[in-house]
Structure 1
Amino acid sequence: MSQSLAAHPDRLLPADPGTRSIARSLLERVQDLPIISPHGHVDAAVIEQNTPFPDPAALLVSPDHYVTRLIHADGVSMDQLHAGESQDSREVWRRFVEAWPLFEGTASGYWLRTQFEQVFKLGADLSGMSADASYDAISAKLVEPDFRPRQLFKDFNIEVLATTDDPLDNLASHKALTEDPTFNGRVLPTFRPDAYLNVAHPSWAANVERLIETAADGGSGYAGYIAALENRRRYFVEHGAVSADHGVRTPATLKLDAAEAEALFEKARAGKATAADRDAFEAHMMYQMARMSVEDGLVMTIHPGSYRNHHGPTFESFGADTGHDIPFAINYTEAIRPLLQDFGTAKDFHLVLFTLDETVFSRELAPLAGFYPSVYLGAPWWFLDAPDAMLRFRSAVTETAGFSRSSGFIDDTRAFCSIPARHDASRRIEASFLARLVAEHRVSEDRAHELILDIVDGSPRRVFKL
């Protein structure tokens, strides 16, 4: 069996020997720091109930759209990649192993290889094992008593893990974890109201009715809708939430007076809203979310620029988050201006801006974060949370915004076992970038050691009010 590349101590570090030596020193400074994960999609119930992980395919292949999309692009149908009634998990795993060479050079390949080496202790690259041998080795690991979510939470050195939650979730699992004296980590809910703000969402009308009925304190109409959102945000704060996340199509914001907003709201409830009406209402609600964040203290994060469910037939058969969300170009400077006019300098308001459009890194995001006290640069996200893209991000934004205006790393993952691999990759990239600045005599080595500590640990605590 060949040794896994994930075992190499210098992975992702600079090729130049002198710069690499500096990077090693910087990485050593932060390598063992606890993981702060202020945005992700792991289900809190998995940790609260300490549920055993399923088989290898159900854990590592079927739910990971990074994985399934590339295998699908090679001609494998989606139904062959989803373990369940129609597909045996071992057969799904065999198709994955057959496709493993496709992942060379990809971020997915790097994260998976790291998991195989460091979490599952395979001791060899997947290419050096048969599909059945690797399936059996991982399956054996999954049934070990110490390979449960709570123990891995501790083994991964996770201090804070934020989830993503529906506004009407009762947050029972979060409450149980908080009250459990045997659990020492922090699992924080995150308010995610997209399906209640986006009129184009197929369940918007039904969601709004449930929201008003449940949380409006007897109110009705648009006023009751606003009151219900405020009340649910307050409930999340009481249960430990530090942020509200918004996965919007664009970062458009719009300030409407109450009468205009109410008219759009009622038009939408009657099913008569045009596409322009829907866009205007969502943009107005983003403005309202910022207003509420100023009042209740929740950090506001915006994740725009994804054409969700690009392939209709796949969405109809397999649902959302199945690999065909495709980025498109966005505009931040004009779109976010109405919000920033009123709240950009508001005391203690934190606005974290993410993008899938690299062209706005230096042109829009860095200048915005370099002026507005409220604005922070969200870490490279989704297709950009990869080694070269993270380096491009640092190169593009640092000369304008410095290091203090960034959020720290965001893993944004559903794959619990990939969390340490993703954070380790980020720490190696930050060490590599800083090492180059030191080697070029642009930053002193002592200062670089201070900076990497702040990037990895200080920034996420500061930006997300932890």
Structure 2
Amino acid sequence: MGLLDPDRLLPSEGRAKSLGRALYNAVKGLPIVSPHGHTDPRWFAENAAFPDPAQLFVTPDHYVFRMLHSQGIPLESLGVPRIDGGVTELDPRAIWRLFAGNYHLLRGTPSRMWLDHAFAEVFGLTDRLSAQTADATYDHIADCLTRPEFRPRALFERFNIEVIATTESALDDLRWHKMIRDSGWSGRVVTAYRPDAVVDPEFPGFAANVAALGDLTGEDTTTWPGYLQAHRLRRAFFKTFGATSTDHGHATARTEDLPQTDAAALFAKALQGTCTADEADAFRGQMLTEMARMSLEDGLVLQIHPGSHRNHSAPVMAMFGRDKGFDIPTRTDYVRALRPLLNAVGSDPRLTVIVFTLDETSYARELAPLAGVYPALKLGPAWWFFDSPEGMRRFRETTTETAGFYNTVGFNDDTRAFCSIPARHDVSRRVDSAYLATLVASGRLAEDEAFEVGHDLAYGLAKQAYRL
């Protein structure tokens, strides 16, 4: 059977088994629409070879190194760079051997499924990664990476990616997107507007970041009207590089709709650095509503990714910086938190607000009922810790009966790990095929409708929701 079971994640018996296969076969070859993620646009701009297997699969992937670190393996021994000047392992073969020798730690995780898919489907490996196969697999992958067909653009085309969205800071000059556009390459790589650094008073260097926003736009960002206008101008700039969405990674889902005089006073406190924690959260909430209003003007889709306690470990943050696997889910309220934004603009069908969660308890109780009635609100797919077969299944089971399929937005892979993109979409297509097959087998959905819904979940809904 090799590394991959051809029927993985599909129903194992009865009518659902054959129907699940048929539904999956109908969607497995569809183009990939990747409307939200964190791949590096520089890859596609320069089209340089990936340096080595460790840099491709281990060092940049927090899904991988957080699991190994949980078993006592130091991050620096996996090549994770230190910002405090400390020594980090630089030998990619040593990193790969350590990874391979501990590959068993990933058993049963979605990361293991994604990695096995990439090893088998992208690099043609047939032997399971282990301490015994470490050097052979390293040499094989390293040899592949020297070939033109394994350059980023070639893999983009081989993966059948129709469009991919990266995510850039509001202060980014988008130079790599410009290089992609000027190159004449036909691959569609667009950006997304991520303004956290200039809307979060608790973000390091917030006031300096806002000043830089003013420099970029020629607006006086020390004033509330000038600050808002600067955002409008940057959003317009991002649209010239294909942006169809904004993205907001806030600690909570709180929104506010304050009188403009109160919002201006709160902004002044944020610039002065005198906000309390509650006032900082209120300002972030006000800016979500302001961004929603701007979306009514310029058509950008608003994504809210709340509920992560970022950088939970202070020592790791000091040594290695942000995004090193220590972001932990928290309980999140949506009913009260989203009410100000939804009261202001939630009934306007011209607006699309896509909400994600790391709090699965909110699906049936809060998010599905909200998305099932507000025209502007859509549910993002199972995200981050729940981007897994069981997480996807729970998402469908707890949201469909209240919100239906068409108040969700299909699948997005939300990844930095380029070679995991086809694997993640394959998992999603298999899980949705299995779910649809069970609905048909239990008399809850007609077979012809299941094939139509399967196509929509794999392809159509993402294109529609993200205006791609």
Q: Bin the TM-score by the shorter chain.
A: over 0.9
Deviation at 1:109, TM superposition (A): 0.6
Deviation at 1:127, TM superposition (A): 3.5
Match of 1:282 in 2: 284
Deviation at 1:216, TM superposition (A): 4.0
1:216/1:231 contact within 8 Å kept: no
For 1:359 and 1:272, locate their aligned partners in 2 and report how far apart those are by CA, in whole Å.
35
Match of 1:409 in 2: 411
2:280 is paired with a residue whose SS is: helix
For 1:406 and 1:27, locate their aligned partners in 2 and report how far apart those are by CA, in whole Å.
19
1:216/1:224 contact within 8 Å kept: no
For 1:217 and 1:265, locate their aligned partners in 2 and report how far apart those are by CA, in whole Å.
15
For 1:83 and 1:397, locate their aligned partners in 2 and report how far apart those are by CA, in whole Å.
38
Larger mean CA deviation between 340-349 and 319-328 belongs to 340-349
For 2:80 and 2:265, locate their aligned partners in 1 and report how far apart those are by CA, in whole Å.
46
Give CA deviations for 1:341-372 in whole Å, capped at 9, x if unaligned: 11111241001010011001111111111101
Corresponding residue to 1:383 among 382, 385, 388: 385
Amino acid at match of 2:443: H
Amino acid at match of 1:248: H
Taking a change above 3 Å as real, the CA distance of residues 355 and 103 of structure 1, as seen in their structure-2 partners, is: same
Match of 1:257 in 2: 259
For 2:348 and 2:324, locate their aligned partners in 1 and report how far apart those are by CA, in whole Å.
39
Give CA deviations for 1:380-435 in whole Å, capped at 9, x if unaligned: 00000000110010000011111111111010000111100000110000100000
Matches within 5 A, 1:340-355: 340-355=342-357
Match of 2:161 in 1: 158
1:19/1:435 contact within 8 Å kept: yes
Give CA deviations for 1:51-97 in whole Å, capped at 9, x if unaligned: 21121111101110000111001111111111666312111111111
Corresponding residue to 1:125 among 119, 125, 128: 128
Structure 1 unpaired stretches of 5+? none
2:43 is paired with a residue whose SS is: helix
1:40 equivalent in alignment to 2:43: no
2:97/2:131 contact within 8 Å kept: no
Amino acid at match of 1:407: V
2:35/2:164 contact within 8 Å kept: yes
Larger mean CA deviation between 340-349 and 192-201 belongs to 340-349
Give the structure-1-normalised TM-score: 0.96
1:304/1:354 contact within 8 Å kept: yes
Give CA deviations for 1:289-337 in whole Å, capped at 9, x if unaligned: 1111111110000000100000010111111111110001100011001
1:146 is paired with a residue whose SS is: helix
Match of 1:4 in 2: 2
1:173 equivalent in alignment to 2:176: yes
Taking a change above 3 Å as real, the CA distance of residues 315 and 128 of structure 1, as seen in their structure-2 partners, is: closer
Larger mean CA deviation between 259-268 and 281-290 belongs to 259-268
Amino acid at match of 1:53: F
1:379 is paired with a residue whose SS is: coil
1:20 equivalent in alignment to 2:17: yes
Give the structure-2-normalised TM-score: 0.96
Deviation at 1:179, TM superposition (A): 4.2
**Aligned-CA RMSD value:** 1.4
Give CA deviations for 1:13-39 in whole Å, capped at 9, x if unaligned: 112243111010001111100000000
Structure 2 unpaired stretches of 5+? 82-86
For 2:2 and 2:211, locate their aligned partners in 1 and report how far apart those are by CA, in whole Å.
53
For 1:433 and 1:86, locate their aligned partners in 2 and report how far apart those are by CA, in whole Å.
45
2:224/2:264 contact within 8 Å kept: yes
For 2:131 and 2:97, locate their aligned partners in 1 and report how far apart those are by CA, in whole Å.
14
Amino acid at match of 1:234: A
Amino acid at match of 1:350: T
What is the total number of aligned residue pairs between the two structures?
462
Give CA deviations for 1:216-255 in whole Å, capped at 9, x if unaligned: 4356422211111111011111221000000111110011
Match of 1:200 in 2: 202
